[in-house]
Structure 1
Amino acid sequence: MLDRATERRAIRALLTGAATGTGGALLLHGEPGIGKSALLRHAAAEATSIAAGFDVVTLDGSASEARLPLAGLHRLLHLLLHHLDGPARDEPARLIRAIEAGCRNDERFDLSAGTLRSIRAASGPRPLLCCVDDAHWLDRETLDVLGFVARRLAGERVGLILAGCDFSGGRDGAAVPALPGVPAYRLAPLDDTTARTLIEDRVPADDVAGALVTVARGNPRALLDLAGCLSPEQRSGDAPPPTGLPPESALRRAYQARLARMPDPTRWLLLLIAADGELAGGGFAADGELAGDGLGVGELVRAAAASGTDLSALEPAEAAGLVDVIGSIVEYRQPLMRSVMYHDAPLARRRAAHLLLARTLDPATRALRHHLHRAAARYGPDDQLAADLERAAARHGGRRGTASLALERAAQLSGDADRRGTRLVAAARYAWLAGEPYRARILLRRARAGAAGAYVLARSRLLRGEIELKTGAAADAQRSLLTAAGELVAHDRHLAIAALVRAGEALCLSGDYDRYPAVARQALALRRDEEPPHVELMLEQMAGLSAMFRADYDAAAAPLRRVVELAQTLEDPDALGQASLAAFLLGDGTQAHRLGRRLAEVARTNGDAAAVPHAMQLMAMADFARGRYDAAMASYHEGVLLARRSGQENLVSNDLATLAVLAAVMGDRQTCVLRVREARTRAAAQGASRPRATSEWALAALDLVEGRAADAVARLRSVMRGQPGHGHVIVKVAATPHLVEAAAHSGDREVAVEVLTAYGPWMEQTGNPGWLALSARCRALVAGTDGEADEYFREALRQHAVGDSDFDRARTELLYGQWLRRRRRPGAAREHLRSALETFERFDARPWAGHASAELRAAGHHVEPKPVRVAESLTPQQQQIARLVADGATNREVAAHLFLSRRTVDYHLRNIFTKLGVRSRVELTRLMS
C-alpha cells in the first residue's frame, strides 16, 4: 500500500477492536480506480496475519443484480454458511428461504436481526472480517440490512468494511449512499510523489512518468493503465505520451458507461465543456489554471444557443454529479471523465465543438483560449495562426501552463524548422515556470530532434541545464550549462553570462567552490560598458562570490552590496534571488528576508511556480540566520511542499536536511533522524553533496545536545575537511559554533582554534549582531585565560541584546553559566542559568531545559519540576503504550495487545521515557496514576 495512512490506521483500529470484542464498521468511497479494492485487500491481509487470526468473508456487488431486492444479502448469507457448523447454520438457512419466498416489508426487521445473529455466530472461535466491495452495485434493501448490522457491532468480534464508488453508472445512476452511524472515508487522489512511486518500476523515464501522473490526476488505476499501454518509443520519451486512458482500460469503460446514459443534447454540452477543458488534447496545463479559467456559464449558454441546444439539457449531467458549476465556471467533477468524453467523440464532432467555441470566446479578453480552439480545428501548417498563438501567449504569459500549450501548438503549426524549434523551447520554458519540469524536458527533446539551428539548440541546452540544476544531478547541470555558455557567446552575450551564472550555482551545489573563480573569470571577461542592470547584477554577484570563495572577505563585500543595491529597482525573479543571497552573505538577514519575500510575490503574480519554493528557501535561510527558528521551520515546510509539487528535488533534499538541523538544535531527536534519513535518500539519488553535508551537521548538533561532544567533533570535522574554497562553505560557517563548542567540551582546543581562524572572519566582517555574538561565544570557549573568556562571554551577551535570537542568547547564557559555576561563582551563574531555563521552556526545547535545570541545581538553586502533561507530550499510540505499561503489562504483552512487534514497543517506550523525563517503569506508573 502506498500512502493511505489515515485509512490504514482506521482499518488497523477496526481490526484491533474486533479482535478484542469491540467491533465496528467503515465505509470507503471515492471515484472509480482510486484504490478502494486495494484497501480491502490490505485489510484482508492484515486480518489474516495478526495474532487473532480472523476469518474473512468477501462479498462483491454485482451490476446484473443491482435491481433485485435482497440479492446481495442472499449471496452474503450463502457465504456465511461456509463458516458455520451444526445448529448455527439454521439461522442463515432460514433467512435464505425467506428471501427466496419473497420477504415482505413487515419482515425486514426480522431479516436484519437474523443477519446480525448469523454474523455473530460466524465470529465464534475466531473474529470475523466482512469485506464488501463495489457496494454501489448492491441493491438498496441489502444496503439497509448492512447498515442495520454495522450500527450494532460495538460488542462483537466482527469488523465490516464496505467500499463503493461515488457514482456507479448503474443502480439509478446513484452513488453508494451514506450509512448513518458508520464512519466514512473518501479516498483522495494520490499526491504526485506517491503516484510516481507507484509506476517507477513500469516507467523508468522520469519525464514520461511525470506526464502520466498529470494525465492520471492521482488515480492509481489510471496510472497503471496508462503505464501499461506505452509503446517502446513513448516509454523512452522519444514519442509524445498518451493524453487519455487507453481504449482497453476498465476505468475508461466505467466512465463510458456513465456518459452513455446521458441524452444526446446533454452529451453535446458535455463535449463543449470537455473540449475547452482539454484545450486541443494537451491536458497538461496546471489544474489551478484551468480550474480558475474554464468555460463560463454565459459562454456555454451562447455556444449552446448557437448550436440550437438549450442549457437545460445540462441538468441530467448536473443531477448525476458529472459536472459542477463553481462560481461562473462549468467544470467536470472528475477530469478523467472529461478526457474520456473528449477522446471518445468522433473527430468531426470534436472539430465542430472547437470551431463553435472559437466563435463564442471573445478574442480580446480570451485570446489564448480563442486561438487554441482555432488551432485545434486546424490541420496542417498555418504560420499566421501560429503567430497569433505566440502573441497571445506573450500577452497572457502569467498563465504559464496554458501559454506553454499555446506555444507548443504554435510550433506544430509552424512551417519553418528554426521557428518551430524556437517556439518549442519557449513552450518548454513556460512549462518549467508552471512547475512541470517533466513536460519541459519532453518539449526540449522534441526541439533538439528537429532541424533547428545552433542558436536554438544552445538555448535548449541552457534551459535543460537550468532545470537539471533544480531537479537532477548537479554535475549534469554544470556540463550542460558550461557547454551552452560556450555555444551562446557568438549569438547572445547576455544569455552566455546567464549560463555561466547557473554553472556557478551548480558548482556550489556540488561543493566545488574552488572551481567557481575560473567560471567567474569567464563571465567577467564578457563584461562591457553600461550593461543593463540585471546583467550588471549577475556579474557583480559572480565577482563577490568568487572573492568570498577565495576567503578574501574584504574584497567580496563591495560587489555583494552592489548586487543588493541594483535589485531595489528590479522585478526579475533571478535578480531578486541573487540579491537575497547576497544580503544573507553580508549578514543582513532583514534585507535578505525582504528580498526573498519580494521574489515570492513577483513569482506568484507572474505564475512562476518554479521560483516560489526558492523564495521560501531564501526567507527560511534569513530567519534561520536571525535565530527565528519557528518562522524558518514554517518557510522550509512550505518550501518543501511547493518544491515537491514542481519537481525540484534538489530543493527538497536541501530543505529537508536544514529542517533536520533545526530539529536537532531544538533537541527533537525523532524529527531530526527522520528528516536526515529522507534527505540522504534523495541526495543519493541526485548525487547532491550539500544535503549530505547538512545532514551530518544535523546529526552532530544532535550529538552535542545529547552530550556526545567527541562524536559531534568527528562528524563536523568530516564536513569541515578541506581548505577554504572547498566543500560547502555556507554549511561550514554555519556549523562553526557547533564544532567550536563540541571541541571545547571534548578538550580538543586545537581543532576549535583552527576552524574559528578559518571561518570566524566571515561572521565578524558582516557586522551582524547575532553572528558577532556567536563569534564572541566561540572565542570565549577557546580563550587562553579566564579574564579573556569572561570578556568574550560578556561581549556575546551585549551583541545578543542588539540582535533578535532569544534561543541563541539562551544557549550563550547556559554556556556562560556553566563556565561561571565551574569557576566557583554560583551566584553569577544562577542569574544566567535561570534566564536560559525560562527561554528553553518557552521554546519547548526540553533537552536544553534539562541541561539548564541540572546546572541550576548544581549551582545550589532548587528547581521545581514542572508537571508533565502526558496528553500533550505523547502521540495517541504512545499514550496507549504508556497506559498499558503503567497497568503492569510487559513489553511482550503490550506488543501482543496492540498487534505490534516487540522491537516497535521497545522503541516507543524509550521515546516515552525521554519525552516524559522518567527513567523507570515505576516513575512512569506514578506519572500516569
Structure 2
Amino acid sequence: MEADRPDLVDRTAECEQLRAAARRAAAGHGNAVVLEGAVGLGKTMLLDRLAEQCAALGMRVLYGAAADVEQRLPFAAMSAVARAHVGRDDDLDRVIDLLRGRDALARSVTALHHELAVTEELLALADRWLSRGPVAILLDDAQWADASSMVLLHRLARDIGQEPLLLVVAARALAQGEALNSLQRGLLAQGALELRLEALPEPAVVALATARLGAPPGPRLRGVLRAYGGNPMHVKTLLGAYLADGSIQVEGGEAEFTGPGDPPAAPQPLVDLARGQAAQMPREYRETLQAAAVLGLTVDVAELSAVLDRPLMSVSEVIADAVATGLLVDDGQCLRFRQGLARELLDRSVPQAVRTALHQRAGRMLTGRDGAPERVAAHLLAGGDLDADGRQWLAANADALTVRAPDLAVRLLRRATADPAQASPALRTHLVRALLWDGDPVQAERAARAALSFDGDAACAPDLRWLLVQACYRQGRLQEAIDATEPAVDSPDTSVGQAARFHGIAAICLFLLDRFDEAVTVADRAVADGEAAGDAEGIGIGYLAKGVGLAKDDMAASLALTELALSHLGHGIRPDLQVDPYVLKGICLMELDRLDEADEAVATAVRHNQRTGGVFLTTAHAVRAHIRFLQGRWDDALAEVRSGLDGPDPLGHEPRLLAMADLIAVHRGDAPGAELPADAGEADGRYLVRWAQALAAEAQGDPKRAAGLLRPMWEQADGLEARRMMYRVCPDLARNTVAAGVPGDARALADDLHTIASVQPTPSLAGCAAYCRGLAEGGVAPMRAAVDAFRRAGWPLYEAYAHESAALALAAAGDQAGAREALQQALDGYGRLEASWDMARARARLRDAGVRDGARGRRGRPKHGWDALTDTERTVAELVATGMSNPDVAAQLFLSRRTVQSHVSSILAKLGLTSRVELAVAATQRQAQP
C-alpha cells in the first residue's frame, strides 16, 4: 500500500490518480497530468513512485528534471528526461548528435530553424517509440524548463489521446515562466488532470514523524511540528536536525524532546534549514558539495577534484556519501543533484567572490579538455574577463557554441570583442555569425560593418561580406544586399568561386525586385565565374537564380535550369540561398501539367525542410495542397493545408493555405471559414485569397461581384505574380463575366490565354483558352476541346466545368440527348469530388435551359465508417494498423509526418475511434470478416 511508504504519507489519493493515468496510457489512451505544489510537498517523491509503476507496466520511462542553470540551453529539459536512454537507442543517439549541433550551420539558417529541425526529429522519434509501446515522460522542476522543451511537449500533447503516452509536468506553484504557463494552459484545455499538492494534515504529519522516529511524537514535539504547516520537507529536515544533535529521544513509547523547558531553537525558513544542514557537515564535505552546486546540476568528479585541487579519492568519498544519503543520484549516465532545490540552496550559500573564483578556475581548466562547449562558456562568462587562453578556446569552439547555445555565444563573443586591440578578425566574424544564428540581423549588420572597418586578416573578409549580405536580405532590404555584394566581388581577397556565389545571390535579389534583365546578366556572370573557377556551388547558385527569373514566362526553361542547379548543388544545398530549388522544381512541373512529378519534387522539399528546419516548409505544403486541388484529391489537399498551418509561418503563407481550404469548402457547399482581406498573403498568394472570395460571392448569387474581385488581379498581374502563374482562375472569371452580362471580357481572356499558350503550350492552358472562347462565342466544339485538354492535364474539376458548359451549348443547339449525356458526365465528375455546390449549379443552369438529368447522379461518399475514408486515408489506416509509426508511413507514401498525423486524426473521427490502438483492433476485426 502507498500509505506504508514514509515518503508518501497521505498521498494515497494522488498516487492512485497517477497510477490510473499510467494504466490508461499503457492501454493506448494517452493523457497528461499537471502536478503543482510548494517546495517540499512531495512532488519528486510522487514522480519517483510513478516512474516505478510505469516501468512495471512495461512503459518506456523518460524521467528527469529541468535545471535553473540550463534555462537558456535549447532542449535541455528534454535532454534531461532522455539521458538514461542515451547510448542505448540508435535513433535517439542520432537526434542527440543533431541536438549537439553537428553540421547545423551547414543545414539551417538560424537557431530557430535548427530548433524546428530538432523538434521534427524528436517528434518523429517519439512517434517511432509510441508505435512500439507505451511511453511515459515525467518532467520534474518544470519551472526551470527551457522554451524549446516546452514547445516540444506542447506538440507531443496535441494528439495525446490517440497515443499510448503519459505526460506529467511537475513544477513549483510559484516562479513559473511564460513557457511553462502556456504549456500548462494548453494541457488543461485538452483535458489534462490537474493535481495540486496541499500541506499535509496534522494526522499525516504525526504519521510521517512516527515513521521517521520509530515512535509517535509526544505533545511538545507535536506542537513544534504543527508550526511547520504540514510541509513534509520542513518536517523531515527539522527532525533530521534534532536527531543529529540528540535533542530527541524515544522513551515510554513516545518520541519527545530531551530535557525540560522550551524546545531547542531551530531555523524556520527553508533556506536556513538547508544552511543549517550544510553547517553540520565537516568543512571538507561542505566545501566540496558547495563547489559542485556552483559548477552545475550534474557533477563531474574529476572536474571537481581539479577545480578544488584536492585528491580524487578524497572528493570521491564525499560524493559517495552524498549519493548514499540521497542528495545526489547516479542515473547511469551521470551524477546529479536529486532535487534542483538542494543544488540551488547550496549554490546560494557560497559568497559571490568565491563563486566567481570557482568559475574562473573551472573555465581555465576546462578550456584544455574536450567537453560540452556551453558548459565551458558558462564558466568563462561567470568568471569575468577573458584571458588569452579563453579567447583562443572561443575562436576554436565558437561555431559549436553558437549552435548549442546561441544566446551564450553572443554574450561571450561580445565580451571577447569589446576591446578592439584584443579582438581577432576571426572572433569578430564569429560574432556576426552568432547574431545571425540568434535571429538578430540588425545587430549582425552593425557588427559586420564594424568588423569590415578594421584592418585585419583578409581571409575573413569574404565570409564577413557574405554574412553582411545575409543580414541585409533577412531584413528585407534587397537593394542593400545587392550593394553589399559589389565590394565583395571587386575585392582582391575574394576568389573567383566566391565571386560567383555573390553574383548568384545578387541575381536572386534582382529577380525578387522584378529587375529581370539585370538579374539575367548577373546570373550569367555567376555561372561563368563558377565554371572558370570550377566551383560547383557558384555554378549551381547562378543556374538557380536564372531559374527563378524565367519561372514567370518559360516554365520549361526554368525547370531545366533548376535541375542543372540541383545537379551542381547536389545534397549540399546552402541553407542561406533564399530559394528552395525543390519547391521551384515542383512549381515548374505543376505549371507544365506534370502533376505526379511535381508532387514528388515537393515531397522532397518537405523532407529537406523538415530535416533542416527550413523556412520553405510551409511553402512546400502550400504548393502540394495546390497540386492536389488540381488533381481532385481534395481531402489530401486539406491534409496538406492543416500540415502547413501546424507550425511556424515565416513567409506568411497562412492566407494562401486558408484560401485553398475555402475554395474546397465553397465547391463542397460549405461556408468558407476564413475572414481574409483582399490584400492578405504574400505576393504569389494574393490571387488565391481573391479567388476564394470570388467563388464565395458566386455561390451567394452575385456573379458581378465575383468578376469584380478577380478581374483586377488578372489585369494587374506582373512580375512574380504573372498571368502564367495564375491563369487557372480564368474559367471561374469567364463564367462570372458572362453571367454578369459582359461576354466580351471572356473573349479577351481567351485571347490572353492564347498569347500565353503560344509561348509555351500546355494542355491546361489550351483547355482554359478553349473554355473561355466557348463561353464568349458559344458552340459545342470549343467545349469538347476543353474537355479533352483538361482530361490530358489531369484537372478533373475543370473537365467537369467543360462538360457542364458543353451541355448548355448542346441544349442551345437543340440536342437534348447530348445535353443530358454531357450533364451526366459533369455530375459524375463533380460527384467524385463531392462538389455539391457545383452539382447544384449545373442542374439549375441546365434546368433553366430545359434539360433535366433524369438521374440522381453519383452518390457522395458517406460521412462516417470505413467507406467514408479516402484512398489515402484507407492506405494510412492499413499501415498504422500494422504498427507502423507516422514517420515510417510518411516515408512509404512520400508524405510528411505532420500530414500523416492529420490523416490519422481524420480517420479516427470518421470511424468514431479515439486511439491508434482502437484503430489497429478495428482494422484487424474488419480484415477477419468474410
Question: TM (normalized to structure 2)?
Answer: 0.51
CA distance in 2, matches of 1:830, 1:583: 39
AA of the residue aligned to 2:786: F
Q: Describe the SS at the equivalent of 1:169.
A: coil
CA distance in 1, matches of 2:291, 2:672: 52
Task: Please give the per-residue CA displacement for 1:453-507, whole angstroms capped at 9, x wherever unaligned.
Answer: 4867644432223323xxxxxxx42233223223432244766665665566667
CA distance in 2, matches of 1:868, 1:814: 22
Task: Please give the per-residue CA displacement for 1:580-611, whole angstroms capped at 9, x wherever unaligned.
Answer: 31452252444444444434444444x44545
**Is the CA contact 1:544–1:560 (under 8 Å) kept in the aligned structure 2?**
yes
CA 1:623–1:418: 2 relative to 1, 3 Å: farther
User: Does 2:520 correspond to 1:650?
Assistant: no
Q: Describe the SS at the equivalent of 2:854.
A: coil
Deviation at 1:423, TM superposition (A): 0.7
Partner of 1:697: 691
User: Does 2:486 correspond to 1:463?
Assistant: no
User: Does 2:639 correspond to 1:637?
Assistant: no
What's the Cα RMSD here? 5.8
In the alignment, which of 308, 333, 345 is matched to residue 318 of structure 2? 308
CA distance in 1, matches of 2:347, 2:752: 65
Partner of 2:38: 168
CA distance in 2, matches of 1:776, 1:339: 76
CA distance in 1, matches of 2:293, 2:755: 64
CA distance in 2, matches of 1:494, 1:814: 58
CA 1:356–1:732: 2 relative to 1, 3 Å: same
Partner of 1:850: 840
User: Does 2:654 correspond to 1:670?
Assistant: no
CA 1:768–1:723: 2 relative to 1, 3 Å: closer
**Is the CA contact 1:564–1:582 (under 8 Å) kept in the aligned structure 2?**
no
Q: Pairwise mapping of residues 195-210 of structure 1 onto structure 2 (< 5 A)?
A: none
Q: Describe the SS at the equivalent of 1:669.
A: coil
Q: Describe the SS at the equivalent of 1:670.
A: coil
Deviation at 1:391, TM superposition (A): 4.2
Partner of 2:255: none
Q: Describe the SS at the equivalent of 1:372.
A: helix
Task: Please give the per-residue CA displacement for 1:190-235, whole angstroms capped at 9, x wherever unaligned.
Answer: xxxxxxxxxxxxxxxxx9x999995997999877999xxxxxxxxx
CA 1:536–1:827: 2 relative to 1, 3 Å: farther
Deviation at 1:712, TM superposition (A): 2.0
CA distance in 2, matches of 1:507, 1:543: 11
CA distance in 2, matches of 1:334, 1:663: 53
Partner of 1:799: 792
**Is the CA contact 1:840–1:849 (under 8 Å) kept in the aligned structure 2?**
yes
CA distance in 2, matches of 1:402, 1:699: 46
Q: Pairwise mapping of residues 230-249 of structure 1 onto structure 2 (< 5 A)?
A: none
Q: Percent identity?
A: 16
User: Does 2:601 correspond to 1:598?
Assistant: no
CA 1:862–1:650: 2 relative to 1, 3 Å: closer
CA 1:799–1:215: 2 relative to 1, 3 Å: closer
Deviation at 1:422, TM superposition (A): 0.6
**Is the CA contact 1:417–1:451 (under 8 Å) kept in the aligned structure 2?**
no
Task: Please give the per-residue CA displacement for 1:490-542, whole angstroms capped at 9, x wherever unaligned.
Answer: 24476666566556666776xx53x3333343443454243523322332333
Task: Please give the per-residue CA displacement for 1:80-138, whole angstroms capped at 9, x wherever unaligned.
Answer: xxxxxxxxxxxxxxxxxxxxxxxxxxxxxxxxxxxxxxxxxxxxxxxxxxxxxxxxxxx
Q: Pairwise mapping of residues 872-887 of structure 1 onto structure 2 (< 5 A)?
A: none
Partner of 1:9: none
CA distance in 2, matches of 1:336, 1:839: 67
Partner of 1:102: none
User: Does 2:412 correspond to 1:409?
Assistant: yes
Deviation at 1:544, TM superposition (A): 4.2
Greater length-normalized contact order (CA 8 Å, ≥ 6 residues apart): 2
User: Does 2:487 correspond to 1:477?
Assistant: no
User: Does 2:362 correspond to 1:368?
Assistant: no
Q: Pairwise mapping of residues 66-215 of structure 1 onto structure 2 (< 5 A)?
A: 166-169=36-39
CA distance in 2, matches of 1:722, 1:555: 24
**Is the CA contact 1:548–1:556 (under 8 Å) kept in the aligned structure 2?**
yes
Partner of 2:458: none
AA of the residue aligned to 1:710: K
Partner of 2:437: 430
CA distance in 2, matches of 1:816, 1:791: 7
Partner of 1:741: 735
**Is the CA contact 1:583–1:592 (under 8 Å) kept in the aligned structure 2?**
yes
Partner of 1:562: 564
Deviation at 1:838, TM superposition (A): 4.9
Q: Describe the SS at the equivalent of 1:166.
A: strand
CA distance in 2, matches of 1:310, 1:335: 19
In the alignment, which of 705, 709, 729 is matched to residue 711 of structure 1? 705
CA distance in 1, matches of 2:290, 2:798: 61
AA of the residue aligned to 1:540: Y
CA 1:624–1:503: 2 relative to 1, 3 Å: farther
Task: Please give the per-residue CA displacement for 1:9-54, whole angstroms capped at 9, x wherever unaligned.
Answer: xxxxxxxxxxxxxxxxxxxxxxxxxxxxxxxxxxxxxxxxxxxxxx
Partner of 1:901: none
Q: Pairwise mapping of residues 772-851 of structure 1 onto structure 2 (< 5 A)?
A: 773-774=767-768, 776-782=770-776, 784=777, 786-800=779-793, 803=794, 805-838=795-828, 840-841=830-831, 843-851=833-841
Partner of 1:883: none
Q: Describe the SS at the equivalent of 2:319.
A: coil
Partner of 2:385: 380
CA 1:368–1:770: 2 relative to 1, 3 Å: farther
User: Does 2:586 correspond to 1:580?
Assistant: no
Q: Pairwise mapping of residues 508-519 of structure 1 onto structure 2 (< 5 A)?
A: 513=514, 515-519=515-519
How many positions carry a matched residue from both structures? 599
CA 1:732–1:824: 2 relative to 1, 3 Å: same
CA 1:317–1:545: 2 relative to 1, 3 Å: same
Q: Describe the SS at the equivalent of 1:740.
A: helix
AA of the residue aligned to 1:850: A
CA distance in 2, matches of 1:338, 1:759: 73
**Is the CA contact 1:777–1:796 (under 8 Å) kept in the aligned structure 2?**
no
Task: Please give the per-residue CA displacement for 1:345-400, whole angstroms capped at 9, x wherever unaligned.
Answer: 76543764796699799965x55346435644654344554454454455x59x93
AA of the residue aligned to 1:638: S
